[in-house]
Every structure is written in C-alpha cells, then in structure tokens.
Amino acid sequence: MLRRYVMVLFGMSCVTVVLIHHSANLNCPVPTRKRISTNCTEAIYRDVHVSNSDGPSTLDDIYITVRTSRKFHESRVAPIVQTWFNLARKQTYIFTDGDDDKLNETTGGHIINTHCGQEYNRPHLSCKTGTVFDKYLASGKKWWCRFDDDNYVNPPRLVNLVNGYNWTQDICIGKLSVPSYTANYRGRPEIYQFAHGGAGCCISRPLALKMQPWCGREKLVETTEDVGRHEDCTLGFIITNRLKIDLTLTDLLHSTRESLRDLNPGTLHEQVSIGQGPGNTVNLDQAKNAKIFSHDVDPTRFITLHCFLYPTSSICKA
C-alpha cells in the first residue's frame, strides 16, 4: 500500500492543493535572516496512510541523504559514488549547491541542486538541510538518515541499525557531540543536546513530522538564527528541547572528531559510518587481506575501505 501526502501551497494570490510525490519548489531565493520570500511556497505534509508498517525495515524504507557543495564534487563526492553509493543507488540522494550534469548522469539523476547558495554559513547550510528535510517528508519513507560528504556509509549495516528500533516511535539515532549545549533562544537560556552531524544520524518519520513547525526550507533558516547555531545543533535543539525527545545513542557512527586511525580493523565490518579528513582517515595498512590503494589514487581511503569490506566490487579489480 502506498503512503501519500497532501501538500498545501500558499502563494500570494491563490491556494493550491495537490497530491505530492516529489519535493517542494527548490527555486526559492537565497535565504536571509528574515523570511526568505513571501512568494516562495511552503509545504505542509500530513500522513494519510502508513505503508509497509509490518515487518522489519529494508533499504527501500530509508531515505539516505548526503549534503555537499559544488566545490567538493570531485574530491569528496566522487569517492562516495565510486564506492558505497553503489550499494544504495536508488535510496541515496546528494544535495548540493551547483549543477553538475556529468555527476548527475553518473548517479542516475540523484544530484539535487538546492539553489541555497555556496557559502559555509548558517543561512545557506540551513536552507540546504531544510530542503533535504522537505524532500524526505515527500518521499514517504520510514527513516531519514543524513550524512555529510566526508562519510563512508555501509548501507547493510545502516539497515541493521535502524531495525534495532521501532520506526513508529519518536527516534533520533546518533552520536552525542558533547554532554550538553546552551542556546540563548529568544532571550532565554535553553539546554539541549545534539547528534553530531559529521557522524550522521537517523530520524524516524513520526519524529520528523513533529519537527515541522521548526524545520523545512524556510523555517529551519529562521530557527537556526533564533538558536544562534548551525543546523545540526539546531536539529538537536528542536528534538531534545522543543519536543523533549531524548537522543538514541550509538557507537557505530564515526566522525572526524575522533581519531579514525584508532578504529580496530577487526570491527570495521560492524560500523555504519566512518568519516575522513586531512590526516585523519581509517588505517588499513596492517589489516589482513586488505588491498591497499596509494594515497594519490585514494586520498580519502574510501576505496581501500570499500574493498576491504566488499572485495568483489568492480572498483577493487583495478
């Protein structure tokens, strides 16, 4: 059975109700501190029916997103597309801030230009993440698992992770950044926690629906400015402070805030996500039966890691 959504579009001169299967209009103006534009439509999603509510979740029940920027398509996105993306081609979408026809063709149309701007600042990043949020809601899937462009993701292990929890409940699976943060929200100090965006996190559909008053392409820009933090912090603020939902913590998500060289190669088959950064990558030099690619060919170590986990992949025969 299918899950469908009603999207109510509010314009300056009319109200239109449509049955939606895709995202809201992505051609809104670049966000500013105030509301982006009164001409830019808003989308309100309401569950009409729950699909596939029985049985364990599959890869098709997960909307996997990668947020990046046009300048990182070659250095960060290309290694993803060469490796783990091929294990979840239908389920993974890459959100960016510039067109790339070649990469879009390679990924089968899974490159989405958010038109949010290319600066690394709160408005542009929040616009990107808010656009991803809207697109997820329109997908009808049980889980939204969001990652950055410096994450290697193991899709089968991701499925195993979310199946440890009841997707019909309010769940946010992540890795705690610090024990707590304080935000000056509308003149009042508010304590909250957040799952570090650099390690990835997964949010269940019921929780995402409750987040709508503060999320979405326009609303998340406003909320991040009210909170005074970047969007991963703000998502945590919405979840743990506004909605009073505790984070569900896991040690299977890894970001560059850790020393990735210290990860035991014997446990890599169990991990869900592993980050990479300059001078901070997974070390497989001493791993048994690992095919080691040179740093010139594989600076992110994603190809080496992928071939360690999936040695029969075509890229490993090079």
- Asked whether 194 and 233 are in contact (CB, 8 A), the reply is yes
Q: Tell me the per-residue pLDDT of 45-101, one tens digit each, with 9 for 90 and over.
A: 444 344 455 689 999 999 999 999 999 999 999 999 999 999 999 999 999 999 999
| pLDDT attached to residue 54 | 66
Does residue 32 belong to any structural domain of this protein?
Answer: no
Scored b (16 or more CB within 10 A) or e, 15-46 reads eeeeebeebbebebebbeeeebeeebbbbebe
| pLDDT attached to residue 286 | 83
* β-pair partners for 280: 277
Q: 315 CB contacts (<8 Å, ≥6 apart)?
A: 82, 83, 303, 306, 307
For the chain, the domain total comes to 2
| pLDDT attached to residue 149 | 97
Q: Are residues 180 and 105 in the same domain?
A: yes
| pLDDT attached to residue 53 | 55
Q: Are residues 249 and 280 in the same domain?
A: no
| pLDDT attached to residue 237 | 97
Does residue 216 belong to any structural domain of this protein?
Answer: yes
| pLDDT attached to residue 35 | 32
Q: Among residues 3, 7, 10, which one has the least CA distance to residue 19?
A: 7
What are the backbone dihedrals phi and psi of residue 287, each rounded to the nearest 5 degrees, phi first?
A: -75, 140
| pLDDT attached to residue 30 | 34
Does residue 16 belong to any structural domain of this protein?
Answer: no
Within the chain, how many helices (H) and strands (E) appear? 8, 14
| pLDDT attached to residue 39 | 31
pTM, full prediction = 0.84
Q: Is 232 part of the annotated catalytic residue set?
A: yes
| pLDDT attached to residue 177 | 77
Does residue 317 belong to any structural domain of this protein?
Answer: no
- Asked whether 173 and 236 are in contact (CB, 8 A), the reply is no
Q: Are residues 152 and 283 in the same domain?
A: no
| pLDDT attached to residue 179 | 83
| pLDDT attached to residue 192 | 96
Q: Are residues 82 and 216 in the same domain?
A: yes
Residues of the chain with pLDDT under 50: 1-51
Residues of the domain holding 273: 256-309
Please identify which of the residues 97, 232, 246, 296 carries the catalytic annotation: 232
Q: Are residues 205 and 191 in the same domain?
A: yes
